[in-house]
């Protein structure tokens, strides 16, 4: 079927309307997201603080190991690795959960008429809660191992907002594609495993040979990390990283509103 420009606009407006309704319907995704967190740690004495403890143990053990392997001062390496690893885990969890973002709620979708982004907002909220618990680890490392925060750290807040602005449409696109094409999930997870090693998380950009440094410009995860990691390391985030992440975000928003408006009536038959 031929899709005209008028139809594209209509689908996009319809998708934008669903995004708007889902954000306004915050009671649904907020309480459901908090409920997910409570349910996950039910009968646990310290609950989600297990996430903090396990992350703290991991970054201390691997931070000391890799700082020696890379012959880097622990004061410089540990905060870099800790912040990068925690935010990478946040990205990875959001990606993994979004791939089953509709199928895991299939019974609810078949019974209750809710805007589909509600289910992805629910997932994003519970991953933000886990991230907030890991903030404790970041600040412990920054203050007791690193040089602490300074006036440049205020840049973290706009950077984090930009990250959320990116993840909302990103999650919707992943959820639709993975629901329609079930083989896509393992393929994407394989790509994420490769990206982990190609992204400066366990290694620092300054050890990359100068002739290969340009390759980082083609890694969007690197730029997403930079706008939140640099401020916490006391540096002003690079402007071009903001531009790249915002450009990608706008493209994803345009694609996501079209996909949502175009295929939302078919989703119930896919799950």
pLDDT in tens, the chain (271 residues): 566 777 778 878 888 888 888 887 777 777 777 777 777 777 666 767 778 888 899 999 998 888 888 888 888 999 999 999 999 999 999 999 999 988 888 888 888 888 888 888 889 988 998 899 899 999 999 988 888 888 899 999 999 999 999 999 999 999 999 999 988 899 999 999 999 988 999 988 887 776 666 677 788 999 999 999 999 998 999 999 999 999 999 999 999 999 988 888 888 888 7
What spatial distance separates the first Cα and last Cα of the chain, rounded to whole Å? 23
> CA 36 to CA 48: how far, in whole Å?
11
Whether the model clears a pTM of 0.85, i.e. scores above it, the answer is: yes
Length of the chain: 271
> CA 20 to CA 76: how far, in whole Å?
43
Let me know: does 144 contact 216? Beta carbons within 8 Å. no
> CA 33 to CA 137: how far, in whole Å?
23
At CA 232, angle to CA 138 and CA 211, rounded to 5? 110
Q: Where are the alpha helices (DSSP H) in the chain?
A: 5-24, 26-40, 49-69, 74-99, 106-111, 117-144, 156-180, 184-198, 220-232, 239-263, 267-270
> CA 148 to CA 233: how far, in whole Å?
8
Q: Who contacts 116 (Cβ-Cβ below 8 Å, separation ≥6)?
A: 18, 22, 102, 109, 172, 175, 260, 264, 267
């Amino acid at each position: 079927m031929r899709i005209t420009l008028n139809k594209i606009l209509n689908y996009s407006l319809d998708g934008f309307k669903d995004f708007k309704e889902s954000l306004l319907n915050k009671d649904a995704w907020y309480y459901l997201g908090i409920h997910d967190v409570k349910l996950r740690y039910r009968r646990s004495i310290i609950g989600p603080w297990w996430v903090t403890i396990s992350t703290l143990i991991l970054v201390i053990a691997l931070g000391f190991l890799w700082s020696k392997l890379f012959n880097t001062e622990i004061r410089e390496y540990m905060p870099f690795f800790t912040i990068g690893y925690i935010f990478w885990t946040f990205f990875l969890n959001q990606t993994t959960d979004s791939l089953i973002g509709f199928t895991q709620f299939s019974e609810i979708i078949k019974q209750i008429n809710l805007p589909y982004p509600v289910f992805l907002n629910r997932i994003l909220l519970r991953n933000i809660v886990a991230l907030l618990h890991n903030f404790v680890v970041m600040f412990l490392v920054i203050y007791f191992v690193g040089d602490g925060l300074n006036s440049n750290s205020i840049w973290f807040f706009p950077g984090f907002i930009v990250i959320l602005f990116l993840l909302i449409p990103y999650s919707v696109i992943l959820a639709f594609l993975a629901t329609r094409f079930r083989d896509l999930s393992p393929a994407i997870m394989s790509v994420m495993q490769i990206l982990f090693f190609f992204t400066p998380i366990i290694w620092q950009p300054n050890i990359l040979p100068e002739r290969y440094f340009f390759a980082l410009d083609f890694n969007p995860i690197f730029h997403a990390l930079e706008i939140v990691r640099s401020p916490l390391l006391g540096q002003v985030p690079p402007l071009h990283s903001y531009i790249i992440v915002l450009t990608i975000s706008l493209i994803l928003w345009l694609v996501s509103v079209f996909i949502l408006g175009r295929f939302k009536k078919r989703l119930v038959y896919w799950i």
